[in-house]
């Protein structure tokens, strides 16, 4: 409505478009709900605007006044919507008609000319009108989709049908006006079907729902197409249209060419004919209330660029710091006026900060909204019946987190439907209701958001998980025996694990849960799996409210402060006096501490960051001087380690700021923050520290665990290298960061594919590369051993197994590479390691070369 007024004042093309669309939506909605007078008025306005749009009419002040008065009148009508059908709109309509040169024939020509001319400028560049249309389309499509799935649950709800109808109709109107004929036809077909359902001629079946959903998907595709190419001509809608038509055999009217229908007053067509008698009487309060409600919402919200919000956030952060400084200052001042002003400033700033934080919050329902559809499609594909229930849709999360959890949550939901909930047959036998139940719950607790995804399916078969994990070598025999069921359930989160008996298109390839876990942990969240056999599985996720502000432990080291994110923090250990020397022991030079009977590897932060001047271990003989040792026990992935710091200060809420690109490759830091006194402090990346300390490489069952700790030498550029030999004098090394696993493979396991050696490895094909072949070593591994040592390398695209003769050692050393003369791309360079000249292999290059042919097979 306001758009009309604004539009009336300044008639440029975009504005007319916008006004036209608004009017058309009003007309559609009004017509559909039986408010014929509003519809008529809107129709009159719309036609007039169309001519303005086509330059058949110049916007004289007289025209504008007329349009405005009609719009004002319409506003009045909407306010008194119940009685609107009695109001007299004729004077306005005739006033509008007066400006039209050929009222009758324009009816037909306007609609044909309009879209054509619209398409001319629309297809060249995305004008504001088109962009707005696309945004609106997305919303309408989403809305329609949600409502459709909901409609299946409650097929009799007129409010839902109305809402879908309105969404589709708006889409059609907009598409028609801007000249997207294909979209228009599609929307029209869907609308006809909806009209039939609405009018009671048809009953909603799941087949119809599927068809309509398909049509909505097509619409979405079309919108995407328009966005990319500016035209929807390439959209193939025939299949969907045919399906819809096939369903429509009873209703002859829908076979009419859509153009002619559009040329009339479209929404008026289904209604007056189908429900003229029932409509006015039944005109339910519900949709009217909905109409009013949504209008109110529309006026109280605006679209804001996210960048602007981010900027606002930064500014508020600055304000908070300035406030802190002023407060400090106020503490020493005597001036009472200043003190009270400072306090007021304090209060306002806090409130402002909270409000700005809120602008970034989005309800989790935004992510959940698509799940009913996902579940419905998946369940019908798998022949299951699943009902989805949600609680706590309104739970709010920071925008960035909402984005980040979208994929993991979708994965979990799909998993539940695929693996969790049984087939109807199995459920009947188990004495459960045939329809499975998937329950999503979200709530705030302790400054975190909890999300639970539970199903009432078969639950996890922990024995099978143990067995599978053993088979795949993820755990050892006695580990399996010691494990509680609860612990066993967590195995499904390990990489390369899947219990699915058969691999489906949906899930079961053994990737996925670990990805979910990684993604959740990336945003500082935690994931936990609980399962009761026969009763179902619950996945619990805890994530922070926001990524921008996190609780952190502040420590001091070498005079500087560092922040450690609280999520990684397990406990603090303080050793004093003699304890310091007594309780630190060394395993092959690496310090460890016995924490409740378990060995906790220790990492000295100063050493790690290269801050020790003399290079001597501070935990060493000199430790008598410093009587106190502070150990911060941290968790990185599934490992624990102790970080030795000079002093533990306090926990604080810190604002995370990214580091500049120069520092991005320092994995030890996760970012930086500004402390209360305005100084900058670095945020430690616990995972990065663990990796840099050689703690987080995956070497559990290879028997190399003891060596892998290596000799922790102090130095800045040390790297852990895996040293191997090929059965002769030359030595080769690989950075352990590039080694994902070490495996022993029996000769008999090697198979040939495409004349290359491969093994089956974790459900996929792993090409083998004999380093001896690559580097021209003749000495045969071929003859004398039955077991081959394989170093497994994998990255996003490639995997390969490098066959070596022996694994010699793992050393941590300062890597000084000298590039090899022959510029062999298979080598990163040559270095002196343990007093021997060693070639450092570039596994990435080898893998790329040797796994090309099988990348398709390894894609998942």
Q: Which stretches of the chain bind another protein, using CB under 8 A?
A: 314-315, 317-318, 321, 558, 560, 609-611, 657, 659-663, 666, 668-669, 672, 674, 678-682, 716
From the CB of 612, what's the least distance to another protein, in Å? 11
What's phi and psi for 562, nearest 5 deg?
Answer: -130, 150
DSSP-assigned states of every residue in 417-438:
IIIISPPHHHHHHTT--SSEEE
- By C-beta, is 28 or 694 nearer to another protein? 694
Based on CB atoms, which residue is closest to another protein, 679 or 857?
679
What is the three-class DSSP state of 510?
Answer: coil
Nearest to another protein of 505, 660 (CB atom): 660
Nearer to another protein, 307 or 706 (CB): 307
Contact call for residues 427 and 436 (beta carbons, < 8 A): yes
d(CA 794, CA 817): 23
Residue closer to another protein, measured from CB, 612 or 845: 612
What angle do helix axes 128-153 and 158-178 make, rounded to 10 degrees?
Answer: 160
186 CB-near residues (< 8 Å, 6+ apart)? 215, 218, 219, 222, 235, 237, 240, 241
Name the nearest CA neighbour of 29 among 211, 148, 184, 162: 162
Nearer to another protein, 288 or 659 (CB): 659
- How far apart are CB 560 and another protein at their closest, in Å? 6
Triad 112, 113, 116: Cα angle to 5°:
95
Nearer to another protein, 477 or 676 (CB): 676
470 vs 659, which CB is nearer to another protein?
Answer: 659
Q: How far is the CB of 548 from another protein (least distance, A)?
A: 13
Measured from the CB atom, the residue of 289 and 680 that comes closer to another protein is 680
From 641, 814, 633, select the one nearest 733 (Cα to Cα).
814
CB-nearer residue toward another protein: 665 or 778: 665
Q: What is the spatial distance between Cα 540 and Cα 527, in angstroms, rounded to a whole number?
A: 6
CA distance 11 to 47: 15
Q: How far is the CB of 557 from another protein (least distance, A)?
A: 9
Query: HSE on the CB side for 742, CA within 13 Å?
Result: 26
770 CB-side CA count, 13 A? 17
- Comparing CA positions, the residue from 60, 70, 166, 53 lying closest to residue 110 is 53
By beta-carbon proximity to another protein, the closer residue of 38 and 548 is 548
First-last CA distance in the chain: 52
CB under 8 Å to 787, separation ≥6 — which residues? 744, 745, 746, 747
Q: What's the closest the beta carbon of residue 820 comes to another protein, in angstroms?
A: 21
Nearest distance from C-beta of residue 661 to another protein, angstroms: 8
Cβ pair 339, 375 in contact under 8 A: no
Spatial contact of 516 and 410, defined as CB atoms under 8 Å apart = no
Q: In this complex, which beta carbon is closest to another protein, that of residue 281 or of residue 307?
A: 307
| Rounded least distance, CB 524 to another protein, Å | 20
Longest CA–CA span in the chain (Å) reads 103
Using the minimum distance from each CB to another protein, give the nearer residue, 424 or 829. Answer: 829
> In degrees rounded to 5, what are phi and psi of residue 250?
-80, -30
CB nearer another protein, residue 421 or residue 682: 682
- How far lies 318's CA from each of 313, 343, 345, in Å? 9, 17, 14
Strands (E), 330-421: 361-363, 386-391, 396-398
Taking the least distance from each CB to another protein, the nearer of 185 and 608 is: 608
Taking the least distance from each CB to another protein, the nearer of 293 and 678 is 678
Q: How far apart are CA 204 and CA 211, in angstroms?
A: 11
User: Which residue in 727, 712, 828 sits closest to 778, CA to CA?
Assistant: 727
Contact 538, 454 (CB under 8 A): yes
Helix (H) / strand (E) containing 764: strand 764-770
- Minimum distance from residue 82 beta carbon to another protein (Å): 54
Place of tokens 């497994």: 792
How far is Cα 214 from Cα 202, in angstroms, rounded to an integer?
Answer: 18
- Closest separation in Å from C-beta 709 to another protein: 21
Q: How far is CA 511 from the centre of its chain?
A: 17
The residue (of 311 and 482) whose beta carbon lies closer to another protein is 311
Please state the closest distance from residue 579 (CB atom) to another protein, in A. 28
Cα→Cα distances 632→40, 318, 640, 645, Å = 74, 31, 10, 7
Report in angstroms how near the CB of residue 561 gets to another protein at its nearest.
8
For the chain, give the number of residues: 860
User: What is the nearest approach in angstroms of another protein to the Cβ of residue 712?
Assistant: 16
Residue 43 or 608: which CB sits closer to another protein? Answer: 608
In the complex, what is the shortest distance from the CB of residue 317 to another protein, in angstroms, rounded to a whole number?
A: 5
Kindly give the residue spans of alpha helices, DSSP state H, lying in 230-305: 238-247, 258-263, 270-274, 278-282, 285-300
**In the complex, minimum distance from the CB of residue 669 to another protein, in angstroms, rounded to a whole number:** 8
Least distance to another protein from the beta carbon of 672, Å? 5
User: In angstroms, what is the minimal distance from the CB of 315 to another protein?
Assistant: 8
Residue 609 main-chain phi, psi, to 5 deg: -90, 5
Helix boundaries (H) for 392-545: 399-415, 424-429, 462-471, 477-482, 485-490, 513-522
Taking the complex as a whole, the smallest distance from the CB of residue 328 to another protein amounts, in Å, to 15
Q: Indicate the Cα dihedral angle 391, 395, 400, 401, nearest 10°.
A: -60
CB of 177 to another protein, least distance (A): 39
């Amino acid at each position: 409505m306001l758009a009309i007024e604004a539009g009336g004042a300044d008639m440029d093309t975009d504005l007319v478009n916008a006004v036209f669309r608004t009017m058309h939506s009003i007309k559609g909605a009004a017509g559909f709900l039986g408010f014929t007078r509003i519809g008529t008025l809107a129709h009159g306005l719309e036609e007039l605007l169309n001519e303005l749009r086509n330059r058949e009419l110049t916007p004289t002040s007289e025209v504008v006044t007329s349009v405005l008065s009609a719009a004002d009148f319409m506003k009045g009508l909407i306010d008194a919507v119940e009685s609107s059908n009695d109001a007299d709109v004729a004077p306005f309509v005739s006033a509008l008609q007066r400006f039209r040169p050929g009222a009758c024939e324009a009816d037909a020509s306007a609609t044909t000319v309009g879209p054509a001319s619209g398409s001319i400028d629309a297809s060249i560049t995305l004008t504001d009108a088109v962009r707005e249309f696309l945004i609106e389309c997305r919303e309408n499509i989403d809305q329609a989709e949600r409502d459709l799935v909901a409609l299946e649950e409650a097929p009799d709800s007129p409010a839902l049908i109305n809402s879908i109808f309105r969404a589709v109709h708006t889409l059609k109107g907009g598409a028609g006006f801007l000249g997207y004929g294909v979209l228009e036809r599609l929307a029209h077909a869907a609308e006809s079907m909806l009209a039939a359902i609405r009018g009671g001629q048809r009953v909603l079946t799941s087949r119809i729902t599927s068809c309509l959903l398909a049509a909505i998907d097509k619409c979405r595709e079309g919108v995407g197409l328009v966005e990319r190419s500016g035209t929807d001509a390439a959209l193939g809608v025939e299949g969907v249209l045919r399906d819809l038509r096939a369903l429509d055999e009873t209703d002859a009217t829908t076979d009419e060419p859509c153009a002619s229908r559009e040329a009339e007053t479209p929404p008026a067509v289904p209604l007056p004919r189908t429900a003229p008698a029932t409509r006015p009487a039944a005109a339910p309060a519900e949709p009217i209330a909905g109409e009013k409600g949504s209008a109110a919402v529309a006026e109280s919200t605006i679209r804001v660029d996210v960048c602007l919000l981010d900027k606002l956030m930064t500014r508020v952060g600055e304000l908070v710091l300035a406030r802190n400084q002023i407060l400090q200052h106020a503490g020493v001042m005597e001036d009472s006026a200043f003190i009270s002003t400072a306090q007021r400033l304090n209060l306002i700033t806090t409130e402002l900060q909270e409000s700005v934080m809120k602008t970034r919050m989005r309800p989790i329902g935004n992510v959940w909204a698509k799940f009913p559809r996902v579940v419905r499609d998946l369940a019908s594909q798998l022949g299951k019946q699943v009902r989805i229930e949600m609680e706590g849709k309104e739970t709010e999360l920071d925008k960035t987190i909402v984005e980040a959890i979208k994929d993991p949550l979708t994965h979990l939901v799909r998993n539940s439907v695929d693996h969790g909930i049984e087939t109807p047959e199995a459920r009947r036998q188990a004495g459960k209701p045939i329809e499975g139940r998937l329950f999503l719950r979200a709530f705030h607790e302790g400054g975190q958001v909890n999300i639970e995804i539970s199903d009432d399916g078969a639950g996890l078969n922990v024995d099978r998980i143990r067995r599978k994990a053993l088979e795949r070598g993820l755990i050892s025999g006695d580990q399996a025996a010691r494990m509680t069921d609860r612990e066993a359930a967590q195995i499904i989160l390990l990489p390369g694990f899947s219990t699915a008996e058969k691999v489906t298109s949906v899930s079961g390839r053994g990737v996925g849960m670990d990805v979910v876990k990684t993604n959740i942990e990336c945003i500082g969240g935690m994931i936990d799996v609980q399962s009761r056999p026969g009763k179902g599985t619950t996945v619990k996720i805890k994530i922070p409210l926001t990524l921008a502000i996190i609780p952190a432990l502040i420590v001091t080291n070498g005079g500087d402060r560092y922040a450690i994110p609280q999520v990684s923090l397990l406990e603090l250990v303080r050793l004093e006096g003699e304890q310091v020397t007594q309780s630190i022991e060394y395993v092959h030079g690496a310090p460890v501490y016995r924490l409740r009977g378990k060995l906790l590897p220790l990492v000295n932060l100063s050493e790690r960051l290269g801050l020790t001047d003399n290079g001597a271990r501070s935990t060493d003989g000199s430790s008598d001087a410093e009587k106190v040792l502070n150990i911060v026990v941290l968790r990185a992935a599934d490992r624990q380690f102790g970080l030795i710091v000079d002093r533990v200060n306090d926990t604080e809420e810190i604002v995370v700021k990214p580091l500049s690109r120069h520092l991005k490759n320092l994995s030890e830091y996760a970012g930086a923050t500004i402390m209360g006194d305005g100084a900058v402090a670095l945020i430690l990346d616990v995972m990065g520290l663990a990796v840099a300390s050689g703690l987080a490489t995956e070497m559990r069952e290879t028997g190399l665990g003891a060596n892998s700790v290596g000799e922790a030498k102090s130095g800045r550029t040390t790297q852990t290298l895996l040293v191997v030999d090929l059965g002769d004098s030359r030595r080769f090394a690989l950075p352990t960061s590039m080694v994902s696993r070490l495996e022993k493979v029996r000769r008999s396991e090697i198979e040939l594919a495409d004349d290359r050696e491969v093994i089956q490895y974790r459900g996929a094909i792993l090409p083998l590369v004999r380093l001896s072949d690559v580097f021209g070593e003749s000495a045969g591994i071929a003859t004398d051993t039955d077991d081959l040592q394989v170093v497994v390398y994998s990255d996003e695209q490639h995997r390969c197994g490098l066959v070596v003769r022996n694994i010699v050692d793992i050393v941590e050393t300062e890597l000084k590479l000298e590039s090899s003369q022959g510029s062999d791309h298979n080598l990163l360079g040559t270095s002196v390691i343990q007093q021997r000249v060693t070639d450092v292999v570039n596994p990435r290059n080898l893998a790329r070369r040797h796994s090309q042919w099988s990348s398709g097979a390894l894609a998942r």
